[in-house]
Structure 1
Amino acid sequence: MRRSRLRHLGLAGLLVLGSLTAVGTLPASAADAPAHSPSSSEQPASAGLLDAMQRDFGLTRAEAEDRLAAEREATGIEPAARRAAGKAFGGSWFDAEAGRLTVAVTSDATPSALRAVRATGAQVRTVEHSAQQLDAAKARVDRLDAPAGVSSWRADRATNKVVVDVVAGERADNDVQSFLKQARATAPVTVRTVPSAPQTFAAGTVGGDPYYTGNVRCSIGFSVHGGFVTAGHCGRAGAGVSGWDRSYIGTFQGSSFPDNDYAWVSVGSGWWTVPVVLGWGTVSDQLVRGSNVAPVGASICRSGSTTHWHCGTVLAHNETVNYSDGSVVHQLTKTSVCAEGGDSGGSFISGDQAQGVTSGGWGNCSSGGETWFQPVNEILNRYGLTLHTA
């Protein structure tokens, strides 16, 4: 990137959407993801982020601040609550109404385990299946061949079942019925109807946008030492990448799609990186301070080169998605955030914690929809990369 353009950091003409990253900052690897644990005296978020949450969640400023603080506490206590539950652990999620982490445990949990979970500050719910059993059931469904009418499936902690999403109007399809019959034979299944099939969010060439590979435009996710991470469907290893001004950025060094949807791009030729997610003028640019995983139910926001900044809620972890072109991707996180073509690869962030890169979804930012992302810690671990943090 030309240094004379740095003053335009907040415009669509930058290193695109996502988080960019600066050399010389303290790195946080995926292995030590708890890179930053804000104290209770810290402001929970920037004014811009609080404004976006008020807009997208219908909250007052005080309610947005309280929710972020509660989510940060829930994220912090989840590992201890999981350890306390032991083999009886059935999953966890953030209960927005109660403002607390909920931990599911099986009925054979010992009294001491229950006391230990509650001692962390989490509330407890009894379920039939442990998280390990539910994940094993979902893995059995993963081995089935899904027809186009089945859009995704996941081990849902709150319902304690494998939830299968079927596209509206396709449930009576013979192939869908066959899939559901096989799924029910191998797992505790419940079926949900969704309006349309998910698709990835790459787009054809449009002027003045973040980065290009060939005739595809996508969005930067998060900066790492030597480059940035993004979506795998945006380009293959060895493909060249150009920026908003069509000058050369670097090259895809690794890429995986389908099965996964992640990639990383090396940066050179005068471009550099900083630990920032663009707010696009909707909110102020957001600093990245770590990659602690937000629980189900927590608020989350996305930055992308087409629709810029939008917020929603984490709906599920480890969901398998069957995209409309037949590509199946595993271990994605589902959100209620909208996205559109060109947002692929962009940043998902919760507070100041990096979460993942946009993969795909259904709907749009006019009528709403759902979007999935590839968790960032998996990408860092896969390629041995180090996240840049402020």
Structure 2
Amino acid sequence: MSHKRIPKRKAAIAAGSVAALGAAAILLPNANASQDGSSTDAAPKTLKASDASDLASQLQDLLGQAFAGSYYDSGSQQLVVNVISGDNNKVIVEAKKAGAKVREVDNSLAALTAGAQTLKAKATIPGTAWAVDPKTNKLAVTADSTVTGANWDRLTSTVKSLGTNMATVKKSSGTFKTLVSGGDAIFAQAEGGTVRCSLGFNVTASDGSPAFLTAGHCGVAAKQWSDSETGQPIATVDQATFPGDGDFSLVKYDDPATQAASEVNTGEGQAVQITQAADATVGEQVFRMGSTTGLHDGTVTGLDATVNFQSETDPNGVDTVTGLIQTDVCAEAGDSGGSLFTQDGGAVGLTSGGSGDCTSGGETFFQPVTAALQATGATLGDGGAGAGDQAGTADPSATASDPAAGGDAVGGDDQAGTADPSATASDAAGDQSGAVGDQSGTGADDQSGAGAADQSGAGADDGSSQTH
């Protein structure tokens, strides 16, 4: 079977887009110095979120066991670092000198990690998730709408056994599912019909070949992927991890001459350059692009999250994924694999799954890009292939409600542009999922949730297609 070669500009497919980022929310100062550098009180520094993330990593190494997590306070533009209560005067001084705002807390990271291990051993129930919340200094445990009766009792009793002030539990109105789609739609033919996911970020594989990252459950669902629902395959899965320690796939373009630019396609000739892989920081603003729901923004709420999805192959099983980023950014069926990124061009995550929708909200989980790159040996960017022809300039008035924000099916328009981060990201880009039809699922009656690695099966509305 001959493979279709992607045109030079069509390969400039980075997943999500930021044609519209909330102006008021992202106009952060670039200052990376203390508010009063001459002060002997070592006032907390005013930081960009990316700089706060770097400082947090440095302080974790510096403070050792006294470090109990950190988060970015977007209101004050400061990094807040938790240290264990007690005789930590030296630790506090060091953290303040580094530019952080210090807060003494009761729960150490070791204690919270041990609590998470107890939850894993005693409460690995489909529809549950947990992550460390540094703002509360507790484990944030979430149960979706399917966790009822004996399972709910089991979960709450396990949380209670952790001790007072160790964890919180809340119910989500939706159902945790894996998603499929993000910025640019990609398609594959599987046993149950057509599967749709989304490309995350273009990368260069360790052997120098052009490739892209997407969700692991997409790579497990199908081996060959196309840029259109009925088109010939253009890329083949090289590595895929799901479930387990992550949810990511490395997919290599079949044509080694493909020029896959390191940018985010915003549609209508607009694009945002992706310049670096960035670790998520709790409290920072992030943006997600989806071919179903378009552009949405929100906040990172937890790191190293564990999510227990209902197994897609075993009605009585559970697919547990660890090491994810938790956010309050909405997503829906058709958004899996797509990009999570920052307004300054940092690649943060790949859409994995979640609950809720973009009307009522919910929780969404993402595979960290840094971990995916390390595991696959890939590097972010086009490896010198170039981004194609000259880029245009995006209309500063563009908003996330414009059709441009919906993205194209693997590729973009013939011109790449530069998105203006001063536009607003408050609205969805419209429903781009019509080409795929109804989602088919293994007994999944409600397709409105944020997940949807819905394999075809009994009770599906339309067995010819699947939207993840």
Contact 1:231 1:359 in 2 (8 A): yes
The change in CA–CA distance for 1:140 and 1:280 in structure 2 (over 3 A counts) is farther
Output the amino acid matched with 1:123.
K
Residue 173 of structure 2 aligns with which residue? 195
The change in CA–CA distance for 1:381 and 1:4 in structure 2 (over 3 A counts) is closer
**Equivalent of 2:375 in 354, 373, 382:** 382
The CA distance in 2 between the partners of 1:130 and 1:67, in whole Å, is 32
Where does 1:160-239 land on structure 2 (aligned, <5 Å)?
Answer: 160-168=137-145, 170=147, 173-186=149-162, 188-202=166-180, 209-214=185-190, 215-225=194-204, 226=209, 227-236=211-220, 239=223
Residue 278 (str. 1) matches residue 265 (str. 2): yes
Corresponding residue SS for 1:294: coil
The CA distance in 2 between the partners of 1:311 and 1:254, in whole Å, is 29
Output the amino acid matched with 1:274.
A
Where does 1:90-169 land on structure 2 (aligned, <5 Å)?
Answer: 90-108=68-86, 110-148=88-126, 150-168=127-145
Output the amino acid matched with 1:184.
K
Where does 1:295-306 land on structure 2 (aligned, <5 Å)?
Answer: 295-306=281-292
The CA distance in 2 between the partners of 1:298 and 1:312, in whole Å, is 8
The CA distance in 2 between the partners of 1:368 and 1:237, in whole Å, is 27
**Equivalent of 2:323 in 331, 353, 367:** 331
- 1:179-233 CA-partner distances (Å, limit 9, x unpaired): 3213432462221222222111127xxxx94333531110111122131111111
**Length, aligned pairs only:** 342
The change in CA–CA distance for 1:109 and 1:98 in structure 2 (over 3 A counts) is farther
Contact 1:304 1:342 in 2 (8 A): yes
The change in CA–CA distance for 1:4 and 1:265 in structure 2 (over 3 A counts) is closer
Output the amino acid matched with 1:251.
T
Output the amino acid matched with 1:85.
L
Residue 53 of structure 1 aligns with which residue? 22
Residue 345 (str. 1) matches residue 345 (str. 2): no
Contact 2:13 2:264 in 1 (8 A): no
Q: Which runs of 5+ in 2 are unaligned?
A: 31-46, 312-317, 385-468
Residue 246 (str. 1) matches residue 231 (str. 2): yes
Contact 1:210 1:305 in 2 (8 A): no
The change in CA–CA distance for 1:175 and 1:169 in structure 2 (over 3 A counts) is closer
The CA distance in 1 between the partners of 2:252 and 2:97, in whole Å, is 45
Instruction: Give 1:79 deviation, angstroms.
Output: 2.0
Corresponding residue SS for 1:140: helix
Output the amino acid matched with 2:66.
A
- Which is helix-richer, 1 or 2? 1
Contact 1:86 1:113 in 2 (8 A): no
Instruction: Give 1:145 deviation, angstroms.
Output: 4.2
The CA distance in 2 between the partners of 1:363 and 1:271, in whole Å, is 37
Residue 34 of structure 1 aligns with which residue? none
Q: Which moved more, 1:177-186 or 1:287-296?
A: 177-186
Contact 1:313 1:337 in 2 (8 A): yes
- 1:342-375 CA-partner distances (Å, limit 9, x unpaired): 2111111113111111001112223333211011
Contact 2:144 2:176 in 1 (8 A): no
Contact 2:330 2:358 in 1 (8 A): yes
The change in CA–CA distance for 1:382 and 1:169 in structure 2 (over 3 A counts) is closer
Instruction: Give 1:338 deviation, angstroms.
Output: 1.6
Corresponding residue SS for 1:278: strand
The change in CA–CA distance for 1:338 and 1:67 in structure 2 (over 3 A counts) is farther
The CA distance in 1 between the partners of 2:141 and 2:373, in whole Å, is 29
Instruction: Give 1:84 deviation, angstroms.
Output: 3.2
The CA distance in 2 between the partners of 1:211 and 1:109, in whole Å, is 57
Corresponding residue SS for 1:180: helix
The CA distance in 1 between the partners of 2:355 and 2:111, in whole Å, is 29
- 1:156-200 CA-partner distances (Å, limit 9, x unpaired): 2221222211235855x1222123213432462221222222111
Contact 1:299 1:312 in 2 (8 A): yes
Q: Which runs of 5+ in 1 are unaligned?
A: 20-47
The CA distance in 1 between the partners of 2:221 and 2:59, in whole Å, is 40
Aligned Cα root-mean-square deviation (Å): 2.7
The CA distance in 2 between the partners of 1:169 and 1:239, in whole Å, is 31
Q: Which moved more, 1:152-161 or 1:268-277?
A: 268-277
Contact 2:235 2:254 in 1 (8 A): yes
The change in CA–CA distance for 1:367 and 1:178 in structure 2 (over 3 A counts) is closer
Corresponding residue SS for 2:21: helix
The change in CA–CA distance for 1:124 and 1:342 in structure 2 (over 3 A counts) is same
The CA distance in 1 between the partners of 2:251 and 2:189, in whole Å, is 11
Corresponding residue SS for 1:380: helix
The CA distance in 2 between the partners of 1:255 and 1:369, in whole Å, is 27
The CA distance in 2 between the partners of 1:341 and 1:290, in whole Å, is 28
Residue 43 of structure 1 aligns with which residue? none
Contact 2:123 2:154 in 1 (8 A): no
The CA distance in 1 between the partners of 2:232 and 2:240, in whole Å, is 22
Output the amino acid matched with 1:217.
R
- 1:61-95 CA-partner distances (Å, limit 9, x unpaired): xx521278632331232222223322100000011
The CA distance in 2 between the partners of 1:2 and 1:169, in whole Å, is 45
**Equivalent of 2:28 in 45, 66, 72:** 66
TM (normalized to structure 2)? 0.67
